[in-house]
Each structure stands twice: as C-alpha cells, then as structure tokens.
Amino acid sequence: MQPRELSETIKAVARACGFDACGIARAESLEYLRPFYREYFSQQREQSLTYLKTNLEKRLNPALLLPGVQSVIAVLLNYYPREPLPEKNQFILSRYSYGSDYHVIIKNMMREMVLRIKAIYGALEVRSFVDSGMVAEKVWAQRCGLGWQGKNTLLIHPRAGSFFFIGILLTDLSPEPDEAGKDHCGSCDLCIRACPVGALDSPYQLQPGLCLSYHTIESDQPLPEFIKEHLSQRVYGCDICQEVCPCNRFSQPHRVAGFEPNPKLKAMTGKDFRDLTPERFEELFKGTAIYRAGYHRMMRNIRAAEGYGAMD
C-alpha cells in the first residue's frame, strides 16, 4: 500500500472509532526543544515538574519509547458539553471533568483503532499515550497538522477550537505525513488579558505557580492567598483562557455518551457541595478525573472559594 493510501486508511479507521480528527507526522527528534525545557525548568524551581524532568529524553526522542518508530499519529476527541453545568450561584468545574475519566475512554478507543489497523496490515509495532509526561502531545498534534499551540499553550484546531483531548500513537508504519499546523493567533491576546492571575505572563508559556488549574487540580499544598482571591467559584480547573478564545465560537457539542455528567451532579447546589461527604463524593465522582484528585483536595478548594465570598 502506498503512503498516501495508508494515511487515508488510518484516518478513516480513526473516524470509524469515534475520533474527531486524525493527523500524521514523521517520527523525528525534538532536540530543538531542549533549550526551551532547560529555561522552563530553571524558571519553575518551586513547582513540581518531576514528570517532565524524568521523561525529558523520551519527550525529545520518540525512538526511546518505540525502537524503530517511523511515524506519530495524533487523534483528537471533542469534549465540549452539550449543556454546561449551571454556574450561577454554583461552584464551577472545568468542562473536561464533567463525565467519565477521559484517560480510560480514549485508551479504549485507541485500542480499538490499533486492532482495526492490525486487521488490515497485519503485525505492526505501536504504542499509545494519553496525557502522558513521556510524550509532547501538543507539539506532536501540531506537527501532525491538527492545529497550533496557541498563546494559552493549548492546541487550537482552526475550525473547531480547543476543547479537545489528544491521543498519540507511535508506530513503525510509514504513511504519508501531513503538513504541520500554522499559528493563527496573530495579534490576539484575549487569553493573556483574561487570565485572572497572570499565569500567561508570556505568549505561548504558562506559569504553573500562577495557574488556577494547577493549584486546584495538581497541587496538594494549601492554596496561596492570591489563588483563593481569584477562584470566583472555580473549585476544579479553569476554562477562562478557552472561553475567551475566538476560535471556540466554532465549538460543537461532543458525541461521547461517557462525557455526559452524572444526573446527580447536574442537580447539585452550592449547599450540596459545601456539605459533601466522602461517601457522596465517591457516588458523584467515582470513575471521573475529579475522583483522581480526591475528596480532601476538592473540599480544600470549596472552602477556599467560599471563604472569599463565592455565592454570597
């Protein structure tokens, strides 16, 4: 099979498995990113970036993850909700966390994709990754032609916005690669100006220590006062830099049943969140990304938001 036909077949399989977009790039070294990471690590001394530092060599060289790798395949899965959870007089959750854990959903979809490709081509070497520190997912998605990494550091699809999860497959197949995505941010800086804590202090670079998402999801330390002051009801993640992005006016509702929120979650009130027990937390969030963060971290965030006047 010729490289172009191989590429078209892989993309057709991706669509059949439910992915919204698929692109392909040659597996090459990303050594050119080493100075960026070196400078980034030096600036983030107080933040926990162990997963990046530990996996840096693998992020720069996909051959360390799959010997003989020839291509990188990137897939996108839309998670933009049909109906956002109520925000008025309510605590706010990032849209990506509404439904079942995306890691599980995308891994299952990629497993099906690999099985279908193997059924067509026979034996092949392949490894898949979802939200893994071992792979520079947004870099590869751009190189695969699926968009560009915007000034808010997120991947932006030119016709569908940024509310997407990214999956990456490394393979020894050699399909025709796509043209890398081009930056279309231009002079727009809405995301930079909208960030309430200035976490996007430089275009295309995020400061985790100033990010609401980092502190409410990743950090297990007490929330700094300046973070508490700017939560504005947000107790898990933050979508502000996506909400203001002009490209997200093209966002369409997802087609994944598993991303629909638990009906009990949709019925929650601010008081229900404040009175959350470990048992109720498990009932609402087991099998979701929020469950991985844990009850105590969620209650820390709720109490902090409440203490700074959320829903007064």
Distance CA 177, CA 250 (A): 26
Q: Sort 75 into a burial class: Cβ within 10 Å, 0-12 / 13-18 / 19+.
A: buried
Going by C-beta distance under 8 Å and a sequence separation of 6 or more, which residues neighbour residue 120?
9, 13
Catalytic residues: 131
At residue 156, what are phi and psi to the nearest 5 degrees?
Answer: -120, 120
Residue type, 256: V
Of 168, 137, 171, the residue nearest 69 (C-alpha): 171
DSSP state of 98: S
Torsion of CA 224, 202, 98, 78, to 10 degrees: -170
Q: Quickly list DSSP for 134-198.
A: TS-HHHHHHHTTS-EE-TTSSEEBTTTBS-EEEEEEEES--PPPPPPPPP--TT--HHHHH-TT-
292 alpha-carbon distance from chain centroid: 15
Distance CA 128, CA 166 (A): 11
Q: Quickly list DSSP for 271-292.
A: HHHHT--HHHHHHHHTTBHHHH
The residue length of the chain stands at 312
Give the three-class secondary structure for 70: coil
